[in-house]
Amino acid sequence: MKGKLEPSERERLVEEGKSLKESLVSMEEDLVKLKDELQHVAQSIPNMTHPDVPVGGEDSSAIRKEVGCPREFHFQIKDHLQLGKDLDLIDFDSAAEVSGSKFFYLKNEAVLLEMALLNWTLSQVMKKGYTPLTTPEIVRSSIVEKCGFQPRGDNTQVYSIDGTDQCLIGTAEIPLGGIHMDSILLESALPLKYIAFSHCFRTEAGAAGAATKGLYRVHQFSKAEMFVICRPEDSEFFHHELIQIEEDLFTSLGLHFKTLDMATADLGAPAYRKFDIEAWMPGFGRFGEISSASNCTDYQSRRLGIRYRPSEPLQTGPKKGKANLPATKFVHTLNATACAVPRMMVCLLENNQQEDGSVVIPEPLRPFMGGIELIKPKLK
Amino acid sequence: MSLHKLRLAAAVPLTISTFSSRLFLKPFPNTLTLGLFSRRLQQHKPLLVRAFSASATVQDIPATQTTVSSVARPQWKASIDFKWIRDNKEAVEINIKNRNSNANLDVVLELYENMVNLQKEVERLREERNNVAKKMKGKLEPSERERLVEEGKSLKESLVSMEEDLVKLKDELQHVAQSIPNMTHPDVPVGGEDSSAIRKEVGCPREFHFQIKDHLQLGKDLDLIDFDSAAEVSGSKFFYLKNEAVLLEMALLNWTLSQVMKKGYTPLTTPEIVRSSIVEKCGFQPRGDNTQVYSIDGTDQCLIGTAEIPLGGIHMDSILLESALPLKYIAFSHCFRTEAGAAGAATKGLYRVHQFSKAEMFVICRPEDSEFFHHELIQIEEDLFTSLGLHFKTLDMATADLGAPAYRKFDIEAWMPGFGRFGEISSASNCTDYQSRRLGIRYRPSEPLQTGPKKGKANLPATKFVHTLNATACAVPRMMVCLLENNQQEDGSVVIPEPLRPFMGGIELIKPKLK
């Protein structure tokens, strides 16, 4: 229409322009809706799976490693709830009145034990180059979703705050994933390795039965979580580093446990591969999960928008012209439990009990508890 | 008796002190108290007294001209000593005025009188009905029997109606009476925050010979605190601690725990989600407009703003043995506060945040011992802060600055050079029986020794309400403000106070990191 035109031709072109414009507006609206719809359904496509992961349900999970063996007791053992009562360490009854079921107070040496576990875990993991952090425990619900959780489902594990778009975190993985969201990191900054402490809150909706007794399943607990952000080619290496750290920690504490390579039906949507550690809990008479280490590859980073810019490769050819930055790539993220306090407490109390009702403190923890070696029954 | 018109209490405006009048040269407003956040916000809905029907057959009950109340039944009852309030009403009224409280004593006393009278009527009617029933057992003329049956029916109807009225009256009484604040210790200065008295001053402001930084700048330069990422992830007033700051938080909590345990306090960790009724019984307002309390969607639960709440709840609805007292706890928890209504410079950085770690001391004791323990608590706090090298002053808070539960409150304000003024780092309150009457915490005094004739059937002594006290041992973010700002050096590093070093793996200094 910029050129010289006959009036009739100009009019024809104007009509054509209008018609095109209307079609465009309508189509662009459709495109937006379609993109939204696509996004909505596609978000639920789970991550791909590592080729070595066993296919099947939980019975198909493979044992990677087994450490120790169940202790032989020559007396009638107590479970952690009984020990907690007898040694005045755990109070579920008052908490049921104050807060509801699955809440508890820790008392006396149990408080020292929690602090020793967290302090010791921190010092051990820091030695491997992990940066300590504490995190917010209230986050925007969008962050929860971007990490692959469902804050608003019927059986959601997530507590929401009244009158806001905020939720309580169920794990520090969430605020950790959020730290670098919508960012482009330098390749030289990677890997980023964090160990974060937080309280975690879970509704445990839908969980019932014996697998909920005592400290095994609670609404609020302290946890130390490891989180790694790295280049794609390094995530397998760090998955093995994380599981090694966990195995070293639990071995040092004298636990009997097995490391499982979780089968496909037991991976959460974000996990490319997941190693769970289950420890022997004599009071329950079976193994219980005490940690989980997931390689989420780029599932979370594509949702959180965490990219990195690869460093410039060295060029020996002709002088570089105007610098073209290499294209950004999505990082890989991994997360792993360093210490979930209540489950560790179940293990330590039940495994380390003695006939006289006392509980032995594992050696590595004693310096962090003012040297206490034993939790003794209190005189009444 | 003539018809009585109960005074309608008008809707009262919130008595929140705003921060706009408190500019930089004055100490921080004492509403920013750690222990008593929304107690001052005694917001009341327009108080319309309930109607209760004046029964036609009973002439001498004072009926009140009223309209239907907008108030729901209270879910719990405080054991308020109405007789004592009535017998000491001048003192109670003066106390209410001194505290700038919205409580309406006249309404309470009227309702109480009405309640007492109605109670008497109900009892009188019951007795009459019993007499009628007795008479009906004997030999009677048919006409007389019929008359008695009629009388019995009529009495029963009146009773049912009156008993309903009595319930409503008791609920109403409970509702208005719950807002009467605690009495006040005679030594407490009367007035607003400028009247608070300085009990003690320790140390003096450090002289700096270089340009100092505030804690936010130090936090950035030393890579210790991240507010920016937290603003994206959670919102303003949230933060991540990093590196040595994490070690410092843990050292503060570990050291505080070990120091306070030496004084015979039992360590605890507590739930951070509690039923909202517990929050109310401790004297807080979970559902007001400017509430400090976060509520959980779809439940009657809230997040705690202080461990005082789950601590008060441990022994609720209990009778303790006198020999079990005193109970002394030091509890760790995370605390969550909406900080609704707080704005301006008094909110910078770590000074005012939505989530923080705190170690709280809580004492349950006999009434005659609470003053002693109040002094023990403040002494513990002063010793802790002196050991850390802080410059601070201990204030005896004036009447208008006491929360409703506190009989007496000592606040400690420490020097924060980055702000250029003092900021509250702890609060120690003696709540006497205010909380225990709401939480239902009683004790049974031990039997006195009797040397006279052999005791007959044991009559247990009557139970009494305990006294409760609470005091901040360590509020981590404010301690961090103090330590970072006071201990900074010219080269940008920060010195760790000696007592904390063993709890931080021996680190003496937080040094700038090479980039």
Q: What is the pLDDT of residues A30-39, one digit of tens each?
A: 999 999 999 8
Sign of CA dihedral B82, B86, B92, B97: positive
Tell me the chain B residues in contact with residue A165 when contact means C-beta distances shorter than 8 Å.
Answer: none
* Average predicted confidence (pLDDT) for chain B: 85
Q: Is A131 on the interface with B (CB under 8 A)?
A: yes
Provide φ and ψ at B11, rounded to 5°: -60, 130
Rounded to whole angstroms, how far apart are CA atoms A59 and A57? 5
- pLDDT at res. A314: 60
Rounded to whole angstroms, how far apart are CA atoms B488 and A376? 44
Question: Among all residues of chain A, which has the CA nearest to that of B224?
Answer: A133
Q: What is the pLDDT of residues B397-412, one digit of tens each?
A: 999 999 899 999 999 9
Greatest Cα-to-Cα distance within chain A, rounded to the nearest angstrom: 109
- pLDDT at res. A61: 95
Neighbours of A34 (CB within 10 A): 11
Q: Is B273 on the interface with A (CB under 8 A)?
A: yes
- pLDDT at res. B62: 41
Burial string for B388-420 (b: 16+ CB within 10 Å, else e) reads bbbbbbbbbbbbbbbbbbbbbbbbbbbbbbbbe
| pLDDT exceeds cutoff 80 at B489 | yes
In 3D, which of B125, B127, B83, B90 has the Cα closest to residue B105? B90
Q: Is B272 on the interface with A (CB under 8 A)?
A: yes
Q: What is the pLDDT of residues B234-292, one digit of tens each?
A: 999 999 999 999 999 999 999 999 999 999 999 999 999 999 999 999 888 777 777 88
Strands B301-303 and B225-226: unpaired
In 3D, which of A343, A265, A331 has the Cα closest to residue A295? A331
The CA distance from B229 to the nearest CA of chain A, in Å, is 5
Interface contact flag, A140 B234, Cβ < 8 Å: yes
Question: Please, which residues have CB within 8 angstroms of residue B36's CB and are 6 or more apart in sequence?
Answer: B283, B402, B403, B405, B406, B409, B427, B429
Least confident of A34-43, A163-172, A218-227: A34-43
3-state SS class at B236: coil
Rounded to whole angstroms, how far apart are CA atoms B39 and B282? 10
Helices (H), B203-354: 215-221, 228-233, 244-261, 276-281, 308-314
Q: How confident is the model at residue B135 (pLDDT cuts 50, 70, 90)?
A: confident
ipTM > 0.95 for the complex: no
Overall average pLDDT of the B491-496 stretch = 96
In 3D, which of B379, B362, B329 has the Cα closest to residue B436? B362
Q: How confident is the model at residue B72 (pLDDT cuts 50, 70, 90)?
A: low
Overall average pLDDT of the A350-366 stretch = 96
Rounded to whole angstroms, how far apart are CA atoms B27 and B39? 21
Least confident of A78-92, A108-122, B75-89, B246-260: B75-89
Question: Among all residues of chain B, which has the CA nearest to that of A133?
Answer: B242
Overall average pLDDT of the B36-48 stretch = 38
Of B234, B242, B294, the CB nearest to A131: B242
Of A105, A139, A178, the CB nearest to B268: A105
Cα A204–Cα A91–Cα B250 angle in degrees, nearest 5? 80
Q: Is B233 on the interface with A (CB under 8 A)?
A: yes
| pLDDT exceeds cutoff 70 at A7 | yes
- pLDDT at res. B76: 86
Tell me the chain A residues in contact with residue B250 when contact means C-beta distances shorter than 8 Å.
Answer: 115, 118-119, 122
Q: How confident is the model at residue B19 (pLDDT cuts 50, 70, 90)?
A: very low
In 3D, which of A356, A335, A215, A128 has the Cα closest to residue B269? A215
Q: Decide: B108 and B141 in contact? Cβ < 8 Å.
A: no
| pLDDT exceeds cutoff 80 at A361 | yes
- pLDDT at res. B450: 55
Question: pLDDT higher for A291 or B138?
Answer: A291
Residue appearing with tokens 């029963």: B156
| pLDDT exceeds cutoff 50 at B68 | no
Which residue out of B240, B244, B360 would a mutagenesis test of the A interface target, given it has the greatest number of A Cβ atoms within 10 Å? Answer: B240
Of A111, A160, A219, the CB nearest to B269: A111
Q: Is A49 on the interface with B (CB under 8 A)?
A: no
Q: How confident is the model at residue B452 (pLDDT cuts 50, 70, 90)?
A: low
pTM: 0.87
Of B230, B296, B310, the CB nearest to A136: B230
In 3D, which of B471, B500, B506 has the Cα closest to residue B255? B500
Rounded to whole angstroms, how far apart are CA atoms B488 and B506? 18
Interface contact flag, B249 A181, Cβ < 8 Å: no
- State how far Cα A347 lies from the chain centre: 21
Query: Token digits for B130?
Result: 């019993």
| pLDDT exceeds cutoff 90 at A212 | no
3-state SS class at B197: strand
The CA distance from B228 to the nearest CA of chain A, in Å, is 9
In 3D, which of B430, B459, B433 has the Cα closest to residue B447? B459
CA distance readout (Å), B247 to A68, A372, B252: 33, 22, 9
Rounded to whole angstroms, how far apart are CA atoms B130 and B125? 9
Beta bridge partners of A168: A138
Rounded to whole angstroms, how far apart are CA atoms A177 and A119? 23
Least confident of A26-35, A292-301, B65-74: B65-74
3-state SS class at B201: strand
Beta bridge partners of B330: B267, B361
Rounded to whole angstroms, how far apart are CA atoms A39 and A282? 47
Question: Among all residues of chain A, which has the CA nearest to that of B318?
Answer: A94
Interface contact flag, A160 B297, Cβ < 8 Å: yes
Overall average pLDDT of the A238-245 stretch = 98
- pLDDT at res. B508: 95
Q: What is the pLDDT of residues B303-316, one digit of tens each?
A: 999 999 999 999 99
- pLDDT at res. B284: 84
Active-site positions of A read 202, 217, 289, 292, 343
Q: Is A161 on the interface with B (CB under 8 A)?
A: yes
Question: Please, which residues have CB within 8 angstroms of residue B387's CB and are 6 or more apart in sequence?
Answer: B259, B497, B499
Which DSSP string do the residues of A264-330 spell out, in sequence order? GGGS-TT-SEEEEEEEEETTTTEEEEEEEEEE-TTHHHHHHTEEEEPPPPP--SSPP-SPPPPPPEE
Question: Please, which residues have CB within 8 angstroms of residue A76's CB and are 6 or more apart in sequence?
Answer: none
Q: A243-247 long-range CB contacts below 8 Å, 24 or more apart?
A: A243/A64, A243/A275, A243/A277, A243/A293, A243/A336, A245/A124, A245/A125, A245/A128, A245/A336, A245/A338, A246/A277, A246/A291, A246/A293, A246/A336, A246/A337, A246/A338, A247/A65, A247/A67, A247/A277
Interface contact flag, B243 A108, Cβ < 8 Å: no
Q: How confident is the model at residue B418 (pLDDT cuts 50, 70, 90)?
A: very high
Least confident of A174-183, A227-236, A274-283, B18-27: B18-27
Size of interface A-B (CB pairs under 8 A): 148
- pLDDT at res. B515: 53
Rounded to whole angstroms, how far apart are CA atoms A195 and A124? 10
Q: Decide: B470 and B214 in contact? Cβ < 8 Å.
A: no
- pLDDT at res. B88: 95
Provide φ and ψ at A3, rounded to 5°: -85, -175
Tell me the chain B residues in contact with residue A119 when contact means C-beta distances shorter than 8 Å.
Answer: 250, 254
Q: Decide: A250 and A344 in contact? Cβ < 8 Å.
A: no
CA distance readout (Å), A339 to A120, A224, A245: 10, 5, 11
Q: A70-76 long-range CB contacts below 8 Å, 24 or more apart?
A: A70/A256, A70/A280, A70/A282, A71/A256, A71/A282, A71/A351, A73/A282, A74/A355, A75/A355
What percent of chain B is predicted at pLDDT more than 70? 82
Question: Please, which residues have CB within 8 angstroms of residue B238's CB and are 6 or more apart in sequence?
Answer: A136, A138, B227, B230, B231, B353, B354, B355
CA distance readout (Å), B388 to B224, B331, B381, B482, B490: 20, 20, 11, 10, 20
